[in-house]
Structure 1
Amino acid sequence: MAAPRTVDGVEAENTEISLTLSNSSSEDTKRPQFGTRFLTDPRQVFQHNAWDNVEWTEEQEEAAKKKVSENNQPLPLEKQEEYNSRASEYWNEFYTIHENRFFKDRHWLFTEFPELAPQRNLNHESQPNNSAVDSSHQDGCEQKQCRDFAALSGDNCAFPGSSATYRILEVGCGVGNTVFPILKTNNDPGLFVYCCDFSSTAVELVKTNPEYDLNRCFAFVHDLSDVEASFPIPDGSLDVIVLIFVLSALHPDQMQASISRLAGLLKPGGVMLLRDYGRYDMAQLRFKKGRCLSENFYVRGDGTRVYFFTQDELHELFAEAGLEKVQNLVDRRLQVNRGKQLTMYRVWIQCKYRKPC
């Protein structure tokens, strides 16, 4: 399934400054902030393009809830089914129109997801609140992997990247906003990156990119919602799975089975990384009546769909798939258009969940 690139003209994942994330759970220790821009004087709001860790007032949250409730009038079932059955068609049209003109490197990628960077086995001091898998845990998992995969030899290893020592899969790769920064930044000779998308047009754009290297990468078409569809890699073979603004494009009824299927591809100790739309994000509040498919699930003007999550919903999906929480954070960001003197409140959720050894 393709990762949504725009919502009502707003490129959600093209933020080029470091992210600041706040944990909504009072039981968890608050994570040290990556961001440095905090709005202390409202009169200075237009001094920067974005402000970190923006707290909402009770009035603001109530207004958001009211707006969502007013627009919560689902389309007829036959119309919902049409958008579901024609999903691949809508995404192919999207990439045919836009091609790679909206490609942006995700500059926050390696700050938030050090698991994708060259130095994977970071020491504990460089991992506040276990934001990456600690080395002692990973060493134990690797020993178990050696035992579990001792039988994989000969013809059984004949899959793309079978000789790699560290394998990453991005689901919903689009035109390569995540894949190519990984390939350019991570020069680990044992690295192999898989990437798939619902849209055959998007995958073709990845394959024709000059940075695409068959020795280090394999792109393929895959429908995440089809849990019977096979992957070109065996179960238990991946170190990292990346889901960036992609799970939200699935029908809510398909999410659990899809996450559980992906969890089966992870090695013991492997991690699933997610960044997606949070409840009451500006994009959700901008939807007009007649665009709601079901509660918190909408269709855009181009036929592509988007869901807006809570942290608890995502935790339930990952936990049901047998994964353990490493991180589940909400990012509340105030973006500013200084030219038009406009403010935009964004809400995103970031998760890391690990497969037990």
Structure 2
Amino acid sequence: MAAVTTAAVDAVSSPDLELAKQTSALTVQETTPEAGTETKTAQLPPHRSHDPQYNMKRSDPFMFGSRYLDQGDDVFEFNAWDHVETDDAYKEYSEQQFAMQRASPVSEFDKNRFNSDPARFWNLFYKNNTANFFKNRKWLQQEFPVLHRVTAEDAGPQIVLEVGAGAGNTAFPILANNKNPKLKVHACDFSKKAVEVMRSHAEYNTDLMQADVWDVASEELPPGVEENTVDVVLMIFIFSALSPLQWEQAVRNIHRVLKPGGEVCFRDYGRGDLAQVRFKKGRYLEENFYIRGDGTRVYFFEKDELARIWSGVFKAGAPTNENNNETCDNAPDSLPQEPSTTKEPQLFDVEELGVDRRMLVNRAKRLKMYRCWMQGRFRKK
């Protein structure tokens, strides 16, 4: 089951590296019994087995793994379980943490500092963490079958746009598995350092890939990308790096570059994820939006919230100034709850939108840790 439990940890193109290291160490390890040694592995259902011979691999793009925790199971039998709802103790602890975070928000000075130039902090992040990126993440094509189609030998001309943070994390694996001689991958990031790292990568080939600096929430389109030309857009742990004030422009930009019927492959953080719950004092910007210790920003999404955003239902009356210094507690109208009444066509059909919940277990310390990610496929109307 290692392929299932490590997939999302490997996917983290964000500065939760320490958390990722801690959780990745808890991954179920595949073991093969020594010759002549009898084990109970073979008697286990495939999704409960450590043995690679019986270990089920994911095929459904919204299956998220298949190790279910049934009533009567020993929680500490394995290191990870899929599709596990948080228990009452964790929910109570989370709410206590959220209350503490709201009571001790980021200072007004720091809020302006972090919001005024987010790319600066991502540049520093990539400068310090270059070696942690550009791994071959095989889970991408398991979760998003459209990547099999565009990389097939007979797929014909295809354009894939990957949008950072951490662009290249999906672009290079796509190229590694590509059999389509007419595929072109554009990898764009708002961090100059990330683009430098991509261009210096041993597998960077300008015949197949183009890496550029581009802010998805700007008013410009990516260099070399025209409207209505892109087949697939990959947004893997990037939307959470944006301020809520940037969401609308970002979604409209993605809508502009995609062909009619083009697809967005999306994965990001969900509300209540361990990374959110663990934030201490002085990290809260506004509801579900935080500053990490390295100065990068991260948002934790609700499922219904994402469905509204990608359908094109944006909040009415939200400030347009990215450097607005009001928090949700001090200015309840900054993110109003009423949807916009503007009569506009729906931007995307929400084809799939799921919540990937996973419980990681530290068997030595008898601890349970809950991870939560959002995953979706959105198709341009």
Task: Please report the TM-score for the alignment, with normalisation by the length of structure 2.
Answer: 0.72
What residue number does 1:262 align with? 254
1:217 counterpart = 2:209: yes
CA–CA separation in structure 1 for the residues paired with 2:119 and 2:62: 40
Partner residue in 2 for 1:253: 245
Residue 56 of structure 1 deviates from its aligned partner by: 2.5
Shift in alpha-carbon separation, 1:32–1:269, aligned structure 2, 3 A: closer
Q: Distance in 2 between matches of 1:110 and 1:191?
A: 16
- Structure 1 regions of 5+ residues with no counterpart? 22-30, 122-141, 143-163
How many Å apart are 1:235 and its aligned residue?
0.5
Q: Give the SS at the match of 1:100.
A: helix
Compared CA separation, residues 349 and 61, structure 1 to 2 (3 A): same
The residue aligned with 2:324 is none
With over 3 angstroms needed to count, the CA separation of the structure-2 counterparts of 1:62 and 1:292, relative to structure 1, is same
Letter in 1 for 2:174: I
3-state SS, counterpart of residue 20 of structure 2? coil
Distance 1:267 1:245 in 2: 23
Preserved contact between residue 284 and residue 290 of structure 2 (Cα < 8 Å): yes
Q: Deviations over 1:290-346 (max 9, x none)?
A: 100111100011000100000111111111161111001101101234565543200
Partner Cα separation in structure 2 for residue 49 and residue 107 of structure 1? 21
> Could you say which residue in structure 1 is the equivalent of 2:328?
none
Q: Which of these residues, 36, 53, 60, is aligned with residue 90 of structure 2?
A: 60
Deviation at 1:80, TM superposition (A): 1.2
Report how far residue 244 of structure 1 moved. 0.5
User: Partner amino acid for 2:375?
Assistant: Q
Q: Which residue of 1 aligns with 2:376?
A: 351
Deviation at 1:165, TM superposition (A): 1.4
Number of the residue aligned with 1:93: 124
Contact 2:357 2:370 in 1 (8 A): yes
CA distance in 2, matches of 1:285, 1:19: 28
**Displacement, 1:32?**
7.4
CA contact (8 A) 2:57 2:65 kept: yes
Q: How does 1:1-357 map to 2 (within 5 A)?
A: 4-7=13-16, 9-11=18-20, 33=63, 35-40=65-70, 44-73=74-103, 74-118=105-149, 165-172=157-164, 174=166, 176-228=168-220, 230-320=222-312, 322-338=347-363, 341-356=366-381
Partner deviation per Cα, 1:5-49 (whole Å, 9 max, x = no partner): 23261239988996799xxxxxxxxx9735221122676334433
Does the 8 Å CA contact 2:79/2:360 hold for their aligned counterparts?
Answer: yes
Which moved further from structure 2: 303-312 or 181-190?
A: 181-190
* Aligned residues of 1:116 and 1:186 also touching (Cα < 8 A): no
Alpha-carbon deviations, 1:172-222, whole Å to 9, x = none? 052622111111112112211110111111111111111111111111111
Moved more, 68-77 or 261-270: 68-77
Equivalent position SS for 2:102: coil
State the AA in 2 paired with 1:325: V
CA separation of 1:324 and 1:208: change in aligned 2, threshold 3 A: same
Distance 1:241 1:45 in 2: 38
Q: 2:59 & 2:89 partners in 1: Cα distance?
A: 23
- Structure of larger gyration radius: 2
Distance in 2 of aligned mates of 1:323 and 1:167: 19
RMSD (Å) for aligned C-alpha atoms: 2.9
Question: Cα distance, 1:63 vs. partner?
Answer: 3.6
| Structure 2 segments unaligned to the other structure (5+ residues) | 1-11, 29-55, 313-345
Q: Which has the higher contact order (CA 8 A, sep 6+)?
A: 1
Change (3 A) 1:173 1:8: closer
Q: Distance in 2 between matches of 1:20 and 1:339?
A: 32
Number of residues of Structure 1 aligned to a counterpart in Structure 2: 304
Local SS of the residue matching 1:264:
helix
Q: Against the structure 1 CA distance between its residues 173 and 181, is the aligned structure 2 distance closer, same or farther, given a 3 Å change threshold?
A: farther
Kept after mapping to 1: 8 A contact 2:228/2:257: yes
SS at match of 1:10: helix
One-letter code of the match for 1:354? R
Aligned-residue sequence identity (percent) comes to: 40
For residues 19 and 246 of structure 1, do their structure 2 counterparts lie closer, same or farther at Cα, with a shift above 3 Å needed?
Answer: farther
